[in-house]
Amino acid sequence: MGAAKEIQDFDELRKLRLADEGYIVITGAHAVIHKVNSKCITTENFNTKVSINDRKQGSYFWVDSIATAAHEFGAKRCKLCKPELRLVPPSTFDA
């Protein structure tokens, strides 16, 4: 399976968002996968969950794919930012 990495601080989150690759999984009562630059990912929420609450009620993780998020965290797609699968067109199967 792919890569998953816990995001330790805001600077690391900022760098990941600037790179604009992969997805963010927020764990807690339920694990939810978001687009890396989704408006759902806010500085305030990150600081509350990671810094202030010291990850007691969940964490933020960077993952390389939706499949990794589902396999490692049982994450469901966010209903607001709706990260999509990158599908291979069936026309390329014969090539």
Render pLDDT for 19-36 as a digit per residue (tens, 0 to 9). 999 999 999 999 999 999
Q: Is residue 81 part of a domain?
A: no
What domain range is 64 assigned to? 4-75
Residues shown for the chain? 95
Which pLDDT tens digit goes with each residue over 25-66?
A: 999 999 999 999 999 999 999 999 998 899 998 999 999 999
Q: Is residue 26 part of a domain?
A: yes
Tokens describing residue 94: 């014969």
- Cross-strand bridge partners of residue 33: 25, 77
pLDDT at 94 over 70: no
Give the number of domains in the chain.
Answer: 1
> For the whole model, what pTM was predicted?
0.83
pLDDT at 2 over 80: no
Which pLDDT tens digit goes with each residue over 71-82?
A: 999 999 999 998
Alpha carbons 80 and 24: distance in angstroms, whole number: 14
Q: Is residue 86 part of a domain?
A: no
